[in-house]
A and B are shown apart, each in its own frame.
Chain A
Amino acid sequence: MSFINKPKVAHPSLPTNALGMTRRQYEGVMSTLCAGCGHDSITAAIVEACWGLAMRPEQLVKLSGIGCSSKTTAYFVSGAHGFNSVHGRMPSIASGANAANRDLTYIGISGDGDSLSIGFGQLAHAIRRNVNMLYLIENNGVYGLTKGQFSASADIGTKAKRGDVNKTPPIDPVLLALSLGATFVARGFSGDKAQLVPLIQAGMRHTGFALIDVLSPCVTFNDHEGSTKSYTFTREHYHPAMEADFVAPAQEIAVDYPSGEAMSVELHDGSRVMLRKLGSSYDPTDASAAYRFIESKLKLNEYVTGLVHIDETGSTEFHTLNKTSAVPLNRIPYEKLSPGSGALDKLLERYR
């Protein structure tokens, strides 16, 4: 970790967004993670994404479980409420928070231990419930805070710092999310901010559960030779296949996409994701095709990155299915919630 304090004042010439806010105003407290940790790069990408979207800080809700990854919610957007809950249980907190107020933007940060082991059930059911949130897994294949045990995403044959070789098959969060019907599934790499920022923005604006698995090397316990989650290995094996550009509502599309190579998906709030296919011909709206493609590449030790699957119909999103009031539940005045004494008197006739 770093021991210097962040400067309290920002340079006046820092660029501002539509709200007149600088990137600095989207930061949080100083990170206490190890120098060079992939997670800090992801934090920077989130700051960039929120600044770029001109998010009002209080409209964002940050949620996490326990672990190195889960600490990072403190490191961005200090103007947003954060909830660092218990290990593996952030999805239920997010489900409840989202049920209470459908108007806010929810971003959950988790890790491979938090999501794929202790929280596996909660993750699966948050996907199934289709909670409207961005769920970001900072995936490093290792337990950091407890000093380097393999996690459930560790690849077969990967070597721990102390020399153990993993023999049990990994759980891949992307394949998991696809098989459970997630409506937005992406993979990124902490070392590729250019790719990650628009993915985060699109995930935040997606209606429904958006999962981004971000390969995020652990410099302390999993960055050595023989590890398949090291910077070196990841750089050699990550495979950008479906780049996404995020285009805010009413913003002009600035890039000139060659015809047939770009696909525009409109999000609920009028923003768009421009998908650029890189070398592959699969349709990202087809979850089964995406599954087959990712699986075939994983067998070759290739991590396909980019926006793997998107379904923007929003038809199975929690509140859509529940027909929840458009006014968030936590803002409905009590007068509308109580049936009143007259209704009670009438009801009691049933029990006589």
Chain B
Amino acid sequence: MPNLASTANRDNDFVVKFANVNGTGSASANSLIMKAIFRMGVPVTGKNYFPSNIQGLPTWYEIRVTREAYAARAGRVDIMVAMNAETYQRDVREVSSGGFLIYDSTWPRSTLLQRGDITVIGVPLAQLVNESFDGARNRILLKNIAYAGAVAALIDVDVEIVNDLLRESYGKKPKLLDSNSKALHLGYDYAKKQFGCPLPLRVRHMDKTRGHIVIDGNTAAGLGCVYAGATVGAWYPITPSTSLMDAFKGFCERYRIDPVSGERNFAVIQAEDELAAIGIVLGASWNGARAFTPTSGPGVSLMNEFVGLAYYAEVPCVIFDVQRVGPSTGMPTRTQQSDIMLCAYASHGDTRHVLLFPANPEECFYMAAQAFDLAERLQTPVFVMSDLDIGMNDWMCRDLKWDDAYRPDRGKMLSAEELAGLDKFYRYVDRDDDAITYRTLPGVNPKGAYFTRGSGHNQFGAYTEDSAEYQAVLDRLKRKFSTAAKYVPKPEVIGNGNNEIGIVSIGSCDGAVREAMDVLARHAIYVDYMRLKAFPFGTEVTSFLSSHPTIFVIEQNRDAQLRSLLILETPVAKFKLHSILSYNGLPMCCDPIVDGIRAVLDDAPRLSAVKS
């Protein structure tokens, strides 16, 4: 009988990590536990660490039970559910001191255990399952449910909620429901009987998940595209963006097929490569449909040429870059924010692009719609800079809301009537003095016809090799980018604004930064935090930078790309910006931020924040 009282009581504040073999159906067992905790009113986050592989390689799923509703990876493991013999040794090593390890004791592993500071709990899962079920595949699948049952007992998850979830999943398949329920109780009852359940790491009912959902960013972004009125999606499959298009297609099949005629109000085109995917998006967008492509870094690399055309010929388009680890193929199933410079200046020649930085699935939903509005308002490509952590992991976020009064901002698009009233239409004449010109769609009115080209053109849309004419258009594009700064979402600033230390960060760093701020406050270090939501940077960004003498720029890449962008695009003094970088492929966690800031402050005792 293991000693179960070896750690301090940490209700609703611990991490369970499941070590599995990919392709064995463990994902459903893991999400069963996560959802049950969520339904108990306790905030959770789920992080999936999976290989670029179909079947047989190690995969991990990490559930953070977090009463403070921290969104970041915890950076520790309190309970390891070690179901993969191949990774067993490293899984044992990863458990935090005082933590627990649950393993399948059908095959005892006493000789491999080298740690006295953790508690090992053996559950003979294979034996229990093999005694009750037939069929190799069936046994593998049900063993997952059995360990879910044991974990539920050990951390005190409400088993009735787990049963409800099983009923929701298998309600229409009584045989499956029966076997899953039986497997759940095999593990649950065994643990209840053999151990003094629950562990000191336990889940207790709270009321902090009401009005929230658990969703991944790709699903939310795909849904956002549906609500934005996007009708054409083109893509080439690439991890980790694939599920975005899957979601869009799934929602369209649900909401966009005429029940009577069977006609579809959408087209999803799987292109032959990313070059074609972005070409299809440009063609559709140029022709008046809202069109988008989801991709990742390698895809953006291929799309560069067309992005330059879209910038220069002023064709709206929306690109979701669900960033993964680079360079080259890199680690396709790990996360990073390493495409910032690639996207900000994509393509040859002088180009600059609008970037949006969602921090979580909720923002993926809203920013998807916003991206289309901006792309059409500004007639230019807009990148939504998501990442694998946001896109593919399960995040708890506030309920998504939609305002039925929303209507797409199509920007300056001339109607047939407006064209009829015009003497002559010129595509690139700046009539309103805001650097945004009027566009027309094919098929509307012959007066609107113009020739779209990536070659040198003057403000009338005609081919030119005349220096002044070429430069006039290029200068207007520069002014247009300044205009863009007024349209893009403003940064979010947390803190009273008077602290000497500022943090600047983006996207999926947000959870870790907020958590770090709480930790720093406990050390009497107070900071102001500006989360950038977009590029180009507006006046709010420059004033935050100028009003804080010491600034930490926190991002997930090696080369401090966000910091570089701030230096290039704002008047900020380079020496003020300290980098805190995480680029190991794992979602950001709070510890390196706290450590990084304290290290600099310890070297700089003059800072008043330290004194206080």
Contacts and interface: CB of A to CB of B under 8 A. Distances in A.
B287 A97 contact: yes
B87 interface: no
B453 interface: yes
A96 B279 contact: yes
A86 B306 contact: yes
Contacts of B262: 323
Could you say which of A73, A81, A331, A352 has the most chain B C-beta atoms within 10 Å of its C-beta?
A: A81
A85 B440 CA distance: 17
Interface stretch (A146-154, A184-192, A332-340): A332-340
Interface string B413-447: 00000000000000000000000000011111110
Interface in A134-180: none
A344 to B, nearest CB: 5
B267 A81 contact: no
A57 B447 CA distance: 10
B598 to A, nearest CB: 38
A100 B279 contact: no
Given A337-B256, A339-B227, A96 B442 contact: no
Interface string A316-332: 00010011111001111
Nearest to B288: A330
Given A96-B283, A99-B289, A329-B266, A86 B213 contact: no
Nearest to B405: A341
B247 to A, nearest CB: 11
Contacts of A121: 272-273, 276
Interface string B376-411: 000000000000000000000001111110111000
A125 B277 CA distance: 12
Contacts of B443: 58-59, 61, 81, 101, 103-104
Interface residues of B, number: 74
A98 interface: yes
Given A85-B309, A334-B407, A95 B445 contact: no
Contacts of B442: 58, 61, 80-81, 97, 101, 104
Contacts of A56: 446
A214 interface: no
B234 A351 contact: no
Interface in A73-109: 73-74, 78-86, 89, 91-101, 103-104
Given A92-B283, A97-B284, A58 B403 contact: no
B237 to A, nearest CB: 15
Nearest to A96: B283
B332 interface: no
A50 to B, nearest CB: 13
A265 B360 CA distance: 57
B446 A57 contact: yes
B276 A92 contact: yes
B452 interface: yes
Contact of A57 (B406, B449, B451): B449
A95 B289 contact: no
Nearest to B275: A89
B283 A99 contact: yes
Given A94-B283, A97-B283, 10 more contacts: A58-B442, A92-B271, A96-B269, A323-B263, A337-B256, A341-B402, A341-B404, A344-B400, A344-B402, A352-B39
Report, nearest first, the 5 A-B pairs whose CB atoms are least far apart. A96-B283, A92-B279, A100-B289, A330-B288, A79-B446
28 contacts: A58-B446, A81-B452, A83-B283, A84-B453, A85-B454, A86-B306, A89-B275, A92-B282, A93-B280, A100-B287, A104-B442, A104-B443, A121-B276, A125-B271, A125-B276, A323-B263, A324-B264, A324-B267, A330-B284, A330-B288, A334-B408, A338-B229, A338-B404, A341-B403, A341-B404, A343-B255, A347-B223, A351-B215
Interface of B: 35, 38-39, 209, 212-215, 223, 226-227, 229, 231-232, 234, 251, 254-256, 258, 262-267, 269, 271-273, 275-289, 291, 305-306, 309, 399-404, 406-408, 440-446, 448-455, 463
